[in-house]
Structure 1
Amino acid sequence: MSTAHVLLGLLAGGPQHGYELKRSHDERLPRVKPVAYGQVYATLGRLERDGLVEPAGQDRDGGPDRTSYRLTEGGEVALSDWLATVERPAPFVTGALFVKVVVAILVSGADRARAYLVAQRQAHVDRLRELTALKTDPGASLGEVVAADYAIVHLDADLRWVQNTLDRVTELHREIRG
């Protein structure tokens, strides 16, 4: 995720200061790792340096001066280009789940890998139940439902891989002992 592009997208709705951007990020992108205030302000500094945002005014609102920022024409172009760029699928398998299973097979053999896969399958099923409950909550926002859908599809893919790998490890174990 590009924090800079996300902030540009949030600023497309109108000028905001850093505190508002952080709050908007966390509210509109639920289930995404929250962004730190320092990261927001550092990113705004880079965006301003690069001519993608500019100060739109200051307000005090009972506290310290807060500078609001707005997109420049260059920022609008950068945001549009980013949104039009298709994400390439990852070229390598990088998930901790995959790595743990392979290492368990290499180091401990099929028994430990099977035990890990069974435990991991249960953790995924439990998480699926939580996300399904969230989706049916009448108070859930559209962002929360879309985030839950995204997570559910990925968990489902992981579960299919876990079951497939569990079947393979079990079969290999049978062949070795057979």
Structure 2
Amino acid sequence: MALGHVLLGLLARGGRHGYDLKRQYDARFPMAKPIAPAQVYATLERLLRDGLVAPGGTDRGGGPDRTSYEMTPAGRLELDAWLAEVEAPTPFVSNPLAVKVTLALLVAGDDAAADYLQRQRAAHRERMREYTRVKTDPDTSLAGVLAADYALNHLDADLRWIDTALARVASLSEELRP
């Protein structure tokens, strides 16, 4: 997901200045990777350069002047094209858990790999409890609930993988022996 597309989506309902876009991002995507205000402004500059946004005016409130940005027709076409694209499943899986299990087996043996998996399972379960608390909090927005559901499903898949890996530790150890 490109931050430029996210900002275009947030501008679809009308012009906003950079700080407001940051607040909207934080509110709409509460469990996404945080972004810094500098990222927002750098991305807005690229969108401006590419003709996807245009300055919409300046707010001269009590603080520094704030330029608001509006999506251009070209920006709308870009956003619509991006929204229509199906996300291709990742061809390569970056799985630090599998790498650590393999290395634990190579370096320290079955017990170390099994111990790592048990500790990882406990960490995943704790994170699932956190997301469940967020999801069941009546003050959580629908966007927050949706993000928690997504995270919970991914954590659940990891837990199933951890259980499978635990069942295969001895076999994996034999396979990795020189």
TM-score between the two structures when normalised by the length of structure 2: 0.93
Q: Which residue of 2 aligns with 1:61?
A: 61
CA–CA separation in structure 2 for the residues paired with 1:156 and 1:170:
23
Q: 1:166 to 1:63 in 2, by over 3 A?
A: same
Q: Which residue of 1 aligns with 2:84?
A: 84
Identity, % of aligned pairs?
Answer: 59
Q: Which residue of 2 aligns with 1:134?
A: 134
Tell me the CA shift for residue 108 of structure 1: 1.7
TM-score between the two structures when normalised by the length of structure 1: 0.93
Whether 2:40 is the aligned partner of 1:40: answer yes
AA aligned opposite 1:59: D
AA aligned opposite 2:102: V
Q: Tell me, which stretches of 5 or more residues in structure 2 are unaligned?
A: none
CA–CA separation in structure 2 for the residues paired with 1:69 and 1:149:
32
Number of residue pairs the alignment of both structures matches: 175
Q: Which residue of 1 aligns with 2:24?
A: 24
Q: Which residue of 1 aligns with 2:125?
A: 125
CA–CA separation in structure 2 for the residues paired with 1:47 and 1:172:
49
Deviations 1:76-133 (A, max 9, x none): 0100111111111111121222221121122222111100001101111111112112
Tell me the CA shift for residue 173 of structure 1: 6.3
Q: 1:8 to 1:172 in 2, by over 3 A?
A: closer
Deviations 1:16-50 (A, max 9, x none): 00010111111111011111111111100000000
CA–CA separation in structure 1 for the residues paired with 2:68 and 2:42:
14
CA–CA separation in structure 2 for the residues paired with 1:106 and 1:86:
39
Q: Which residue of 2 aligns with 1:161?
A: 161
The answer on whether the counterparts of 2:106 and 2:173 sit within 8 Å (CA) in structure 1 is: no
The answer on whether the counterparts of 1:114 and 1:170 sit within 8 Å (CA) in structure 2 is: no
Deviations 1:51-92 (A, max 9, x none): 000001111111111110000011001001111111111111
Q: 1:172 to 1:92 in 2, by over 3 A?
A: closer
AA aligned opposite 2:45: G
Q: Tell me, which stretches of 5 or more residues in structure 1 are unaligned?
A: none
CA–CA separation in structure 2 for the residues paired with 1:61 and 1:173:
65
Tell me the CA shift for residue 172 of structure 1: 5.6
What does 1:162-177 align with in structure 2 at a 5 Å threshold?
162-170=162-170
Q: Which residue of 1 aligns with 2:75?
A: 75
Q: Which runs of 4+ in 1 moved over 3 A?
A: 170-174
Two-structure CA RMSD over aligned residues (Å): 1.6
